[in-house]
Amino acid sequence: MPIGEFGNAPPLAGQGSPALTTPMYWMYEMAHASLNPARAVTDATKILFQNPLNPWSHTEFGKSVAAACELFERTTRRYGKPEWGIHDTEVNGIRTAVEIRTVWEKPFCRLLYFDRKLTRPLRHPQPRVLIVAPMSGHYATLLRGTVEAFLPTHEVYITDWADARMVPLAAGRFDLDDYVDYIIEMLHELGGNMHVIAVCQPSVPVVAAVSIMEARRDPFVPISMTLMGGPIDTRRNPTAVNKVAEERGIEWFRRNVITKVPFPNPGVMRDVYPGFLQLNGFISMNLDRHMDAHKQLFAHLVKGDGDLVDKHRDFYDEYLAVMDLTAEYYLQTVETVFVRHALPKGEMTHRGIPVDPTRIMRVALMTVEGENDDISGLGQTEATHGLCKSIPAHRRVHYVQKGVGHYGVFNGSRFKSEIVPRISDFMMSSANPKSLLALAAE
């Protein structure tokens, strides 16, 4: 099933009224709770019609009832954060166990390290990679395939952003400036000798963070940064997502899609852009396709086609698991990236200080785009090269992957076979034998 909605936070949402904005989340919670009795009855019915001792379970009628019960359960369920499910990988032809550890943590993010338990020492050190996952409604587990593709040949770290409704008000606010600060702090924590990969939405804050570090002559600046399907300049080949934001303006979003987290969530009374509203935007973009997918699920359940049923479950378990974004982060991102186009215009600031990509000189740059990307149009990520003019031409690479959409830029068979090897080669060639500390002193 082709996918186009993952990655950047689409500034789309259901129509709303300012008068209904405040209780919107509370009404959603009440509606969800009101379905619990029906869900309990449906679960019991499903178990009854799947019991092999029940003669009806072997008939098409019985299978249809069980299939309908599963569809009801799945479409009314609240999907929790998915598990990573990465327990091992293959390094130099040897199956190696993987332990996922938290190595840095703040209220709105954890930095995870995929620790490969190597039984033999490596002949040559492998590149250390920080993958900055999108904070755009889906969890970092969306990049499970991305992590799995890099693990055999890289030391992998990834940002694991928190669901805003789970963060108490006492933890403070989180906006785009904080996002940039988090990236810088993580690079400091990792101690240099790092490569950064920004997948989709983080491209703008990663460029901002690296620009600030270069302006400060920070010794922990990354060796390279790779930007994949990112909205650096959304004026180029604007997509439907880009046009909606520009046409409606930031005040429309402030009035219509921001609400407060209800009790009993830990983040009660925090202003957020709720995940369920984000999901409504995702699904409405391709409603017919999602409806067809669920019709096919019903048919596969009746036929007993386990492989196709499992494939559907795996996809939608990830797709329907969404998290809330803090209002200040969401609104600032929409305004800065999609409405004002602040970075390409040279107007972006970080805590009042101008963000100047021309200060980037020590960091190699690679941009990756998908030929059929309907979220970040062709040229939006490539625009970074025009902003980072001080990076020597031989340390800049742009690559367009044929035949893939937005999701295919960071996941799937072509990503593994064609994009990952190119990124890996780029990282190896961009590594500088001199230490970053020595370069900073020059």
Range of the domain at 335: 88-241+327-441
Examine residue 265 and state whether it is found in any structural domain, yes or no: no
Whole-number pLDDT of residue 143: 94
Whole-number pLDDT of residue 16: 43
Examine residue 367 and state whether it is found in any structural domain, yes or no: yes
- First-to-last alpha carbon distance for the chain, in angstroms, is 52
In this structure, what token pair is assigned to residue 277? Answer: 């509203």
Nearest to 222 by CA among 74, 426, 22, 47: 426
What distance in Å separates the CA atoms of residue 407 and residue 374, rounded to the nearest whole number?
A: 10
What distance in Å separates the CA atoms of residue 396 and residue 408, rounded to the nearest whole number?
A: 22
Examine residue 167 and state whether it is found in any structural domain, yes or no: yes
Whole-number pLDDT of residue 29: 84
Beta bridge pairs of residue 440:
none
Examine residue 351 and state whether it is found in any structural domain, yes or no: yes
Using the structure block, give the residue that is written with the tokens 């900055």. 132
Nearest to 135 by CA among 281, 323, 5, 268: 323
Element (H, E) at 114: strand 109-116
Examine residue 181 and state whether it is found in any structural domain, yes or no: yes
How does DSSP classify residue 84? -
Cα 349 to Cα 341, 365, 388: the distances in Å are 12, 21, 16
Q: Are 210 and 196 in contact (CB under 8 A)?
A: yes
Q: Are 32 and 26 in contact (CB under 8 A)?
A: no
Using the structure block, give the residue that is written with the tokens 């970080």. 350
Whole-number pLDDT of residue 27: 83
How does DSSP classify residue 364? E
Whole-number pLDDT of residue 224: 97
Examine residue 317 and state whether it is found in any structural domain, yes or no: no
The CATH number assigned to the domain holding 166 equals 3.40.50.1820
Q: What is the pLDDT along the chain (442 residues), one digit of tens a residue?
A: 333 344 454 444 444 444 445 577 888 888 888 888 998 999 999 999 999 999 998 899 999 999 999 999 888 888 889 999 999 999 988 999 999 999 999 999 999 999 999 988 888 889 999 999 999 888 999 999 999 999 999 999 999 999 999 999 999 999 999 999 999 999 999 998 999 999 999 999 999 999 999 999 999 999 999 999 999 999 998 877 777 777 787 888 888 889 999 988 999 999 999 988 888 877 877 788 888 988 888 888 898 888 888 888 888 888 888 999 999 999 999 999 999 999 999 999 999 999 999 999 999 999 999 999 888 889 999 999 999 999 999 999 999 999 999 989 999 999 999 999 999 999 999 875 443 334 334 4
Examine residue 170 and state whether it is found in any structural domain, yes or no: yes
Domain count, the chain: 1
Whole-number pLDDT of residue 241: 74
Cα 319 to Cα 141, 147, 164, 279, 315: the distances in Å are 10, 17, 18, 9, 6
Examine residue 349 and state whether it is found in any structural domain, yes or no: yes
